[in-house]
Chain A
Amino acid sequence: EVQLVESGGGLVQPGGSLGLSCAASGFTFSDYWMNWVRQAPGKGLEWVASIKKDGSEKYFVDSVKGRFTISRDNAKNSLYLQMNSLRVDDAAVYYCARSAAVAFDNWGQGTLVTVS
């Protein structure tokens, strides 16, 4: 069974930094692109970032470019999101999601980031 478990969320002040992690299990992690998708309270889904299987390609939504970094450790079956210069509008539940085809086929339960 595919499992994605996010951690690292919490309360941070505007301008601060926070690092999120996603522990993957139940599949060969290195065979899949991975992603972060966020959802602000009461709002819709927003794609944040994607990383290729080997980490050689990374893509970001314009609003986080230069502030967020996505990385992965295939040996540890883990995905990361380093968020710097956080803004109030970055507050959201952050989901780790696996890519299959060009879609997000498995999602974690999310971790809440509060910026205040």
Chain B
Amino acid sequence: QSALTQPPSASGSPGQSVTISCTGTSSDVGGYNYVSWYQQHPGKAPKLMIYDVTKRPSGVPDRFSGSKSGNTASLTVSGLQAEDEATYYCSSYAGSGNMVFGGGTKLTVL
């Protein structure tokens, strides 16, 4: 049950694209197509942005997309907007009923 690895920070200018990585192992990210991504603004509860690696819940802008290659999943935010500034967490199923989160990436919109 080790945490997934995310870069502590990422940044981009409005309108640009930014990609956040999430690295795990073959026991979690690489072993299941159950990676999800959450957006958290300061003092607020997390919000689901992506699930099952690539799927977007209704209401989430299509500027947010997910992918996976091997043991690394990625979240791409295209057309950055000021309101995208937040901390993003990845999560993966890790087998035997367990879930694991990444350490979080603080996204700054310059």
Contacts and interface: CB of A to CB of B under 8 A. Distances in A.
Contact of A47 (B45, B51, B101): B101
Nearest to A104: B48
Contacts of B51: 100-103, 105
Contacts of A45: 38, 40, 46, 89, 91, 101, 104
A107 interface: yes
A108 B103 CA distance: 20
Given A47-B91, A61-B1, A109 B45 contact: yes
B99 interface: yes
Interface string A74-111: 00000000000000000000010000111111111110
Contacts of A106: 48
Contact of B45 (A50, A100, A102, A107): A107
Interface in A57-72: 57, 59, 61-62
Interface in B9-46: 32, 34, 36, 38, 40, 45-46
A104 B103 CA distance: 17
18 contacts: A44-B89, A44-B102, A45-B104, A47-B100, A50-B99, A61-B1, A101-B34, A101-B55, A102-B32, A102-B36, A102-B52, A102-B99, A103-B36, A104-B46, A105-B48, A107-B45, A107-B47, A110-B45
Interface of A: 35, 37, 44-47, 50, 57, 59, 61-62, 95, 100-110
